[in-house]
Amino acid sequence: MKFLVSTHVQEFRSVLGDDTSHVCFCQHHSGLSSQINGRDVIDVWICEGGEVTEALMDQWLDRNWNSPKTLLVNDAKFIPNLENLSKGRVAEIQAISKEEQRASSWVISTLRKGEMLYARACARGPVQHNGVTLDHDTKKTVLIVGAGIMNLVTAEFLAIRGFQVRIVDAGPDPRTCKDWTLLGATHAGGNARMFSYTEADNYNERGSDIYHNMRHIFRKTTLNGGWSVKSPLSFSAAEEAWVNAFEQVPIWLAQAMKEDIYYVNREAGKLWTEYMDRAPQLFEGVSLHTDILRLYAEETALAAAYELSRDLGVVVQDLSQAELLKENTGFSAAARFNDLAGGLIVQGFTLGIHSFVNKLIDRILELGGEFSWNCPVQRIRHNASGEVTSLESQLGALQADNFVISTGVARNGLLDGTASENLLQGVLGVWLKIPNLDPMLRNSTKIHRRGYLVEDINVTVSKDVKTGEDILILGGGYGYVGLDWPSLESPELQALFKELEEVALTYFPAGYQRAKERGTLWLDGERKFCIRPFTCTGLGIFEDIPTATGGHLIITGGNNTGGFAQAPAIARAVCRAMVGEHDPIHVLFNPHRSKLVDQKARDFRFVSSL
Ligand SMILES: Cc1cc2nc3c(=O)[nH]c(=O)nc-3n(C[C@H](O)[C@H](O)[C@H](O)COP(=O)(O)OP(=O)(O)OC[C@H]3O[C@@H](n4cnc5c(N)ncnc54)[C@H](O)[C@@H]3O)c2cc1C
């Protein structure tokens, strides 16, 4: 995505400072032609208005003519003329109002507005059907690829709205599978997930008091204080491109994207509440616990987190270190080692995800849905107009009125040729389990320790499904795996397990000792991890491609640390797309927003001493 600025150039330059990789400037309008015909295609042009001639407009629109372009105009009186020159080829032409320009942050808000117009145009583009429309009165079939949390919630939402759903998954039935390495992020790892209003987040917001020095975090291994379990020297071209794009997200855009991610978290929060009212049986017997205790090792991060949670309106109680210790004497070791500055209780909940999805599968079956396991889908088939005709799978061609694909980390080329290609890569986290001993932890807890190897840890209050014992399930850590499956023996991965053990020892010494003595620290005796699908922006993916019969093929996923948390918001966005209704997620998670760098135009080899 590239901006051209040919108005208020000095002001844009001074506000952006060094953060200009997505913006080119043209102070003297005689240079416009060479800017427009330069290496990068201009997607958003912020202009005065009068400098845009017919020839310049044609040159600009001829470059990548089928990708949407948007114009922001400083002087509104030029808009009628620009509309004439564009002959309907510019997706959006809008003025920057004089009131907007009076605000001190108008440069940033103008860039954000331009980027959002571009995202809106991208989201609108692909859903034009070639005149064929589906009859909305008859029962429609939806073929759903991937049976992780994202698609299971979507399948249930669709089924209760009258769609006939069939779910196919490359892996085995998770309810009976004994080999966790065959399972996706949802079914592998610990039987625990959390909803909080910051569960999905943006991790490359520079200047954050909660996450520090994030820019090159994926180029450093966990042993060197980074978030990768893979040496940067072994990155494939696709991985190099993903990490490069992460590093290139400008500060102003990362901040905008963070707000978008939190918006989706908030919408999901409302939908989870509605879901619990609509289908209470799904939430019974799944270790549901409400309100989350957030603990911070550091004062600065605690203060920033308090401010953030207060702005989001989710603080239930603020707790000093003394109050925490009074409530739970078990935290005294953490306080002694300077690992406990204080905490707060915020709105949210946790549950046993494996128990929950087992119930969800049964419910989808009751609603008439079907499942096919061990059936990898290999390719999306198109006709000459680019419309989807079927999916290619081991069972042969799969056909339906609509399709939804949410396959976690995209490894097998299924998304090749879509806008989502190469956007979904893996960042793993690790798990362990200890008994919840006296003094028992009452609230599921989130521990943040800035700069540690395992930076964020979710501690879920639960019951062991087999023995009924009160337990705590600890899950966390970040290990970029790109498109690979990591070796369990790798020192980088082992370091994450070791550090998670240290967290258990520091905050829950009694439970940790008991688990060590009994040899029950690891889940089913194994060091288990699971791999979250991540995008380089932290935004999820929502791509809508027309089918030849007037239906939709929708690709979702990549919701980073909040795939469970955001699932109902994504499910609603899918349902709305199927019936032609708008949902903000169609724009906010449009994959073009995460395609920040023109991958073909760049040399990704990165020479670094990091
Ligand atoms: C340690 C850890 C803790 C976490 N805690 C939380 C939390 O507390 N809250 C939260 O919101 N999120 C949490 N997450 C993230 C969350 O678990 C994931 O975001 C979520 O499970 C992803 O679900 P999904 O449906 O997108 O993908 P997956 O669960 O990976 O499902 C994808 C499915 O697609 C199938 N598939 C893949 N390719 C194909 C193909 N070609 N054909 C057919 N099927 C295919 C796979 O077999 C798989 O079943 C955590 C993650 C980790 C690692």
pLDDT at 475: 97
For atom 25 of ligand 1, the residue with the nearest CA is: 148
**CB of 201 closer than 6 angstroms to any ligand 1 atom:** no
Phi, psi of 475, deg, nearest 5: -140, 140
Q: What three-state secondary structure class fits 553?
A: strand
Ligand 1 atom closest to Cα of residue 377: 42
Ligand 1 centroid–CA 413 distance in Å is 17
Report the SS3 class of residue 431.
strand
What pLDDT, on the 0 to 100 scale, is given for residue 400? 96
Q: CA torsion 431→435→440→443, rounded to 10°? A: 30
Contact 352 CB / ligand 1 (< 6 Å):
no
Q: What is the pLDDT of residue 215?
A: 85
Q: Which has the closest alpha carbon to 578: 528, 542, 538?
A: 542
- Euclidean distance between CA atoms 208 and 112, whole angstroms: 19
Instruction: Judge if the beta carbon of residue 481 lies within 6 A of ligand 1.
Output: no
| Token pair of 378 as six digits | 């290999």
- Whether the CB-CB separation of 389 and 190 falls below 8 Å is answered with no
**What pLDDT, on the 0 to 100 scale, is given for residue 422?**
93
Candidate from 530, 566, 589 with most ligand 1 atoms within 8 A of CB, to mutate: 530
Take atom 19 of ligand 1 and give the residue whose Cα is closest.
Answer: 563
* Domains and their CATH numbers in the chain: 3-127 (3.40.50), 141-179+355-421+538-601 (3.50.50.60), 197-351+425-534 (3.30.9.10)
The two three-digit tokens of residue 246, written as one number: 């992460």
* Distance (Å) from CA 192 to ligand 1 centroid: 13
Ligand 1: which atom is nearest the Cα of residue 409?
Answer: 30
Contacts with 335 (C-beta within 8 Å, 6 or more apart), sequence order: 321, 324, 325
Q: What is the pTM of this model?
A: 0.94
Q: Is the CB of 170 under 6 A from ligand 1?
A: yes
Instruction: Please tell me the distance between residue 562's alpha carbon and the centre of ligand 1 in angstroms.
Output: 10
89: which 2 tokens? 């080829």
Give the DSSP letter of residue 346. E
pLDDT score recorded for residue 12: 96
Residue 394: what pLDDT?
87
What letter represents residue 146's amino acid? G
**Which amino acid residue places its CA nearest to atom 20 of ligand 1?**
563
Ligand 1 binding pocket includes 530 (Cβ within 6 Å): yes
Residue 441 CB–ligand 1 contact under 6 Å? no
Q: Which residue has the tokens 């109050």?
A: 323
pLDDT of residue 605: 37
Whole-number pLDDT of residue 139: 64
Total count of residues recorded for the chain: 610
* 10-residue averages of pLDDT along the chain (610 residues): 95 92 92 94 96 96 91 96 96 91 91 95 66 62 98 98 97 95 96 97 73 84 94 95 93 93 98 98 97 94 93 94 93 92 97 98 98 97 93 94 96 93 96 94 93 88 95 97 94 96 95 97 95 96 95 96 98 96 97 77 37
Q: What is the predicted pLDDT for the residue at 137?
A: 58
DSSP string covering 555-583: EEE--GGGHHHHHHHHHHHHHHHHTT---
**Do 121 and 536 contact (CB within 8 A), yes or no?**
no
Substitution candidate for ligand 1 out of 143, 144, 150, 522 with most atoms within 8 A of CB: 150
CA distances from 396 to 325, 392, 393, 403 (A): 61, 6, 5, 16
Nearest residue by C-alpha to atom 26 in ligand 1: 408
pLDDT at 97: 86
Residue type, 368: G
Cβ of 476 below 6 Å from ligand 1 = yes
For the Cβ of 408 lying below 6 angstroms from any atom of ligand 1, the answer is yes
Centroid of ligand 1 to alpha carbon of 450 (angstroms)? 25
CA of 185 to the centre of ligand 1 (A): 3
479 lines ligand 1 (CB under 6 A): no
User: Mutation test of ligand 1: which of 564, 574, 589 has the most ligand atoms closer than 8 Å to its C-beta?
Assistant: 564
With the most atoms of ligand 1 within 8 angstroms of its CB, the residue from 154, 459, 561 to mutate is: 561
Q: Which candidate, 530, 439, 508, places its Cα nearest to that of 193?
A: 530
Give the CA angle between residues 490, 493, 499 to the nearest 5°: 135
> What pLDDT was estimated at residue 102?
87
Q: Which of 488, 491, 560 is nearest to 528 (CA)?
A: 488
- Rounded Cα distance between 447 and 457, Å, is 5
Q: Is the CB of 458 under 6 A from ligand 1?
A: yes
Query: In 3D, which of 68, 29, 70, 34 has the Cα closest to residue 52?
Result: 29
